[in-house]
Structure 1
Amino acid sequence: MSTSAALDDRVVLRFLATPADTAAGGRSVAAGSVMEWIDKAGYACAVGWSGAYCVTAYVGNVRHRRPIPPSSLIEVQARIIHTGRTSMHVVVTVSSADVSTRRYTPATTCVLIFVAKDADGRPAPVPPWIPVTRSDRKLADAAIERMDSRAQIKRLMLDEAYSEESAAPRTTLRFLVPPGVVNFGGKAHGGTVMRWIDEAAYACAVGWAGADPLADHAIGVYSGGIHFLAPVRIGELVEVDARIILTSPHSMHISTRVSTADPRRPDDLTLTTQCLSVFVVPDDGGVAMAVPQWQPTLPEDVRLHEHAREIVRLRETIVPLAASLTLEP
């Protein structure tokens, strides 16, 4: 809770999900839309606290606990749970409600890290946040506890090399960054980049599970290790490369990397963002169906397969934040 009347450490957004937010299968809101909402609320919270332009540095452990039906009422709550010298950790919880009942139920919770910037684009100091309530203290402790695991996951993901020496199921999207996604810093919103990641990962998942009549109902149930390494500028060429690196009996683990280049030098790509997503194909009752199993054979694919297993192991050490705690005063 804020210790100063001039500062507010919480933000609540409420709105109606639009048809444009619906996933390609038509049965639920796209995970990419949810991640855009998360980024918008988190950004508003970070800017409100710091009083400065901010950039998204990290989004972790986005657990989509349940699908959100199309045209639902949406509530997105964001709150500061830790500050560093120039950074802010923000927990965001997305809830939805049927229009007729208006009873909100949590669907997604995650933690984001924002960095404040000064007028010259350099990291800027932020006011320190001091936990006051019981939930403040518990969430602050959780933010600190996650730092080591997050650093390990980032290091593991950055250490892996990706090349064309792969036979993994793969989808690659290429396009120019349009002016319509510009943020206040003249670059693409972090939420927009996460939507691109979800779209490429969805296409990859559907392509792999395509023999099943319900394949186009694939949904993202987890996104993690989303590190924003460099800005995405308007007018740049973007390549969003998604490839399956691990399958379990009922899920597909997809590594997605976003790179950019000057359109005049399209092969001179710079990695800007990376993410590991998990997709499932639910049946009509919402239960994850069996998916085709992929067995890597080439050296790079075998290495990335083991890399994914290590990421899963680390992820399992991170205790999910209870939505009830994040929504507590």
Structure 2
Amino acid sequence: MAKQKFARESFVITTEMVMPNETNPLNNLMGGHLMHSMDVAAALAAQRHSNRIVVTASVDNISFSRPIPLGAAVTYEAKVTRAFNSSMEVHIIVHAEDIPSGQRFKSNEAFFTFVAVDQTGRPIDVPELIPETEDEKNMYDYALRRRQLRLVLAGRLKPSDATELKSIFKLDE
């Protein structure tokens, strides 16, 4: 039987403060620094799940909905939502907080895909993911559709071959 792990076992939370050398001329966190920190937190979640070195395979859309100002505390929460053969989808949510005022807001959210690799860099199997909560089960169920959409967009899968996408793209009508 293949090894199994619960989604909660991959949960990672990290917090950092926005420092002056990480800001743009408007004194807001630079997008590139935000993406780097999201990648690191999400990679840690994937590593916790797989107990392996992981490499970033793809990142879904990252929209910059709200700037994060200098001095804010930025919290990254990441968890594996589904594991396939050697790849894992990780959901990450970013919150920013002005600690003195107590104001907290969601800044970003994305799905990252990682591949677990062995010491030579070749993909290696990962444990099956077991969702427990309703939210984890929903994320798990929709992860297959997100994966198929990623493969279609990358040109690695025809929309007609993605059975789960037929209803999304209305291919049977």
Relative to the length of structure 2, the TM-score reads 0.81
Secondary structure of the residue that 1:8 maps to in structure 2?
Answer: helix
Offset at residue 46 of structure 1 (A)? 0.8
Counterpart in the other structure of 1:152: 152
Counterpart in the other structure of 1:80: 80
Between Structure 1 and Structure 2, the one with more helix by share is 2
C-alpha distance in 2 between matches for 1:110 and 1:80: 12
Asked whether the equivalents of residues 73 and 102 of structure 1 are also in contact (C-alpha less than 8 Å), the reply is no
Counterpart in the other structure of 2:161: none
Asked whether the equivalents of residues 64 and 109 of structure 1 are also in contact (C-alpha less than 8 Å), the reply is no
Larger relative contact order (Cα-Cα within 8 Å, sequence gap ≥ 6): 2
- Listed as ranges, the matches of 1:1-329 within 5 Å are 2-3=5-6, 8-23=9-24, 25-155=25-155
Offset at residue 3 of structure 1 (A)? 3.4
Q: Deviations over 1:275-312 (max 9, x none)?
A: xxxxxxxxxxxxxxxxxxxxxxxxxxxxxxxxxxxxxx
Q: Which residues of structure 1 form unaligned runs of 5+?
A: 157-316, 318-329
Secondary structure of the residue that 1:112 maps to in structure 2?
Answer: strand
RMSD over aligned Cα, in angstroms? 2.0
Shift in CA distance, 137/155, structure 1 to aligned 2, threshold 3 Å: same
Offset at residue 42 of structure 1 (A)? 0.5
Counterpart in the other structure of 1:310: none
C-alpha distance in 1 between matches for 2:155 and 2:31: 25
1:3 maps to a residue whose letter is F
2:33 maps to a residue whose letter is S
C-alpha distance in 1 between matches for 2:153 and 2:30: 25
Counterpart in the other structure of 1:159: none
C-alpha distance in 1 between matches for 2:140 and 2:101: 33
Offset at residue 86 of structure 1 (A)? 0.7
Q: Which residues of structure 2 form unaligned runs of 5+?
A: 157-167, 169-173
C-alpha distance in 2 between matches for 1:10 and 1:155: 31
Offset at residue 77 of structure 1 (A)? 0.3
What is the aligned length?
153
1:75 maps to a residue whose letter is T
C-alpha distance in 2 between matches for 1:87 and 1:102: 38
Asked whether the equivalents of residues 80 and 89 of structure 2 are also in contact (C-alpha less than 8 Å), the reply is yes
Relative to the length of structure 1, the TM-score reads 0.44
Offset at residue 102 of structure 1 (A)? 4.1
Offset at residue 153 of structure 1 (A)? 2.1
C-alpha distance in 2 between matches for 1:138 and 1:10: 17
Offset at residue 139 of structure 1 (A)? 1.1
Counterpart in the other structure of 2:171: none
Secondary structure of the residue that 2:6 maps to in structure 1?
Answer: coil
| Higher CA-based Rg | 1
C-alpha distance in 1 between matches for 2:6 and 2:41: 21
1:96 maps to a residue whose letter is A
Asked whether the equivalents of residues 116 and 123 of structure 1 are also in contact (C-alpha less than 8 Å), the reply is yes
Secondary structure of the residue that 2:88 maps to in structure 1?
Answer: strand
C-alpha distance in 1 between matches for 2:20 and 2:142: 36
C-alpha distance in 1 between matches for 2:122 and 2:115: 10
